Structure formats: structure tokens, C-alpha cells
Homo-oligomer: A and B are copies of this chain.
Amino acid sequence: MPNPWDGVVSDEEQRAYKAAGFGRTAGLGKRPALIIIDVQYRTAGTKPMPYFEAIKEFPTSCGETAWEAIAQIQNLLTLFREKKWPILYPFISPKQSFDYGRIADKIPALMTVASKGYEFVAEIAPQEKDILLPKKHPSAFFATPLTSYLIDLGVDTLVITGCSISGCVRCSTVDAFAYNFRVMVPHDACYDRSSTSHAVNLFDMASKYADVVSTGEAITALRALS
């Protein structure tokens, strides 16, 4: 099966990584949790729209590609709810009067997103007992109690989905790797605003931090856990 980065990362570069020993498979543990990052209307829009139209609604919107990923996240949600495995929702919390800092410098448009943008997309909305993790910074681990919940739940494996691949998904994956969780990233259950950056970030994660697979492959592997 082709990788989502084929054609973007050249064959020679892929060979250079393989020759140095990168990109082995980490595999699943025994106790998985589903992490759904930032799947709020601010990243998906209130309905599927082409990118340049979507950013008129919310500048942080990724357009139609978000909704394709949301359909895949729904498949993962069905499995995790059936298995009663933990589901966690790290999400960007609304800006407050005292919020500023480097985000406001680099991407001022992020500071004035309308409140509707902070709502969870209804199709994947959390249910009672799912764990909500408001965050102020990109990584789901940074300045949130995510690690404490995962330790309490005895989780050893994270299935990371959502948005954006080159932003919060990427750095949450790196932090999860550093904490020694096993990480699976179902690439079509993640989305971004940029196809090149999307592909290369998946390549980086697959090379060093996570097992990057399709949602179908992820579901097959997860179902095989006792």
C-alpha cells in the first residue's frame, strides 16, 4: 500500500532514512485510548466547504478535508465505545482577556475566533464520562493533566486523531513518544490545511515517533487486541 508521503518525500530520501534504520514499527500495547484533538468548528467549519471559502468562516478552518477525517474518526469512536476503551478530547479553550503571548504574535487571527468555533463538531461530540482537556498551547500534554488521566486509566497506547497534523497532532505525538506511550496515527483520521506539510509530517512521525497507518488498518489491529 502506498504511503501518504510517497511522491512528496522522494524515493532517495526514503532510502536514506531506511539505510540509517529509521521507521521501524512500535506496535500496540494492551490498553489503548483514543485521542481526538481540536475537532471543533474552528478547524472544520460548520459544514464542508472549499478551503478559501472555509477560512472566511474561521481563519483556522481546514475545509473539506476535515470532514473526510471526521467520518474516519466516527469509525474509531464506534469501536472505542463498543470496547469501553477511554476516549479523550484535548481542545483549544476560548481565548480570555488575559491571553496573549507568542500565539498572538505569530498568528493574531487565532485570538478572535467566534465562540461557535470552540464547540465540538457534533458528529464526534463527547459523551458523559469522556475526558475533556482544555488547552492553551499546541500539545495535548503541555500544561494539561492528560498524563495523569492516562496513568490513572493504565493506558499504554494512544490512537491520535484530529487536527492539525503539522501542529497539535504532530507535537502531541512527539510528547506521547517521549512519555513512552505507544502511538498509532491513523493518517486519514487526521487533517490539515496543507497537503505537502500534511504528507511530510506523517513521514516524520512514521520515521521516528509513531506507527502511521490507515484507519482501516488501525481498526483491524485494535480489534485483534483481546
A: residues with CB less than 8 A from B are 8-10, 13, 16-17, 19-27, 51-52, 55, 59-61, 96-98, 100-103, 105-110, 128-132, 136-139, 142-152, 154, 156, 166-167, 170-171, 174-175, 177-183, 193-197, 200-201, 203-204, 207-210
Pair A180/B102 contact, Cβ less than 8 Å: yes
With a 10 A CB-CB cut-off, give which of A16, A17, A27, A106 has the most chain B CB atoms: A106
Q: How far is the CA of A178 from the CA of B174 in the complex (A)?
A: 14
A-B contacts, 20 of them at CB < 8 A, read A9-B197, A13-B195, A13-B196, A16-B55, A19-B52, A20-B59, A21-B108, A22-B109, A24-B106, A96-B132, A98-B129, A98-B130, A98-B149, A100-B152, A101-B152, A102-B182, A106-B210, A137-B148, A143-B144, A150-B151
Which 6 residue pairs are nearest across A and B when measured between Cβ atoms? A21-B109, A152-B180, A137-B178, A143-B145, A200-B200, A26-B105
Pair B21/A59 contact, Cβ less than 8 Å: yes
With a 10 A CB-CB cut-off, give which of A8, A101, A178, A179 has the most chain B CB atoms: A178
Q: A102-B182, A103-B177, A151-B156 are in contact. List 20 more A-B contacts (CB 8 A).
A: A9-B194, A13-B197, A16-B194, A17-B193, A20-B193, A21-B108, A25-B105, A26-B102, A96-B132, A98-B131, A98-B132, A101-B148, A106-B207, A137-B177, A143-B148, A148-B178, A148-B180, A152-B180, A171-B171, A201-B204
Chain B residue at minimum C-beta to C-beta distance from A13:
B194
Residues of B within 8 A of A166 (CB): 204
Residues of B within 8 A of A194 (CB): 9, 13, 16-17
With a 10 A CB-CB cut-off, give which of A142, A195, A200 has the most chain B CB atoms: A200
CB within 8 Å for A20 and B148 given contacts A13-B197, A139-B174: no
Pair B96/A208 contact, Cβ less than 8 Å: no
Q: How far is the CA of A210 from the CA of B160 in the complex (A)?
A: 25
